[in-house]
Amino acid sequence: MMSDFALKSSNSPRVNRRGKLGGSIALVGALILGSVAAVPAQAQNTKIGFVNTERILRESGPAKTAQSKIEAEFKKRDDELQRLNSSLRSQAEKFDKDAPVLSESDRVKRQRELSNLDTDLQRKRREFQEDFNRRRNEEFSSIVTKANEAIKRIAEQENYDLIIQDAVTVNPRIDITDKVIQSLGK
């Protein structure tokens, strides 16, 4: 014999709601499954491209021209730094050779001179590097702007939905870097 609780719960409208709820859940599940199955079909129509910015800044015509121009601008200062470095090195070698026979005051004086020369050389190197980097950034910022314009132009002409710059791994099939480099060369 069934308890009063079992009789009440078996005839309750709640059971019928569960049946309706179960049907609703099944319908929602089917809709979700259908929409998930449609995503790969839509993704197949998405055209994706990849651009290697580092390669553009290394291999494109404007980048090579800018690099040569900057190196020519800074060659004189670089040569001067090389000369100062060689001079300091030869003076240090001479000091090492002469140190045993020098008086204490002469040894301290020459050590101080070498230290001052080294400090001066380090300061000049740092200034050179800062100036070089600043100038390089100036030149390459215009190249990046032109490259971005070329990328946008290629994306519009070839109907790309998405262009990715710099990724960990890329299928060469979607790499449009050569097209961008070629476009910058025109």
Rg (CA), the chain: 36
Kindly state whether residues 79 and 169 are assigned to the same domain.
Answer: yes
- The count of domains in the chain is 2
Enclosing domain of residue 29: 4-43
pLDDT in tens, 46-60: 899 999 999 999 999
Taking 50 as the pLDDT cut, the residues of the chain under it are 1-18, 26, 28-30, 33, 35-39, 41
Kindly state whether residues 107 and 35 are assigned to the same domain.
Answer: no
Kindly state whether residues 27 and 108 are assigned to the same domain.
Answer: no
Kindly state whether residues 12 and 99 are assigned to the same domain.
Answer: no
pTM (two decimals): 0.64
| pLDDT for the residue numbered 6 | 45
For the domain that residue 94 is a member of, what is the CATH number?
A: 3.30.910.20
Kindly state whether residues 80 and 32 are assigned to the same domain.
Answer: no
Kindly state whether residues 22 and 111 are assigned to the same domain.
Answer: no
| pLDDT for the residue numbered 99 | 86
| pLDDT for the residue numbered 5 | 42
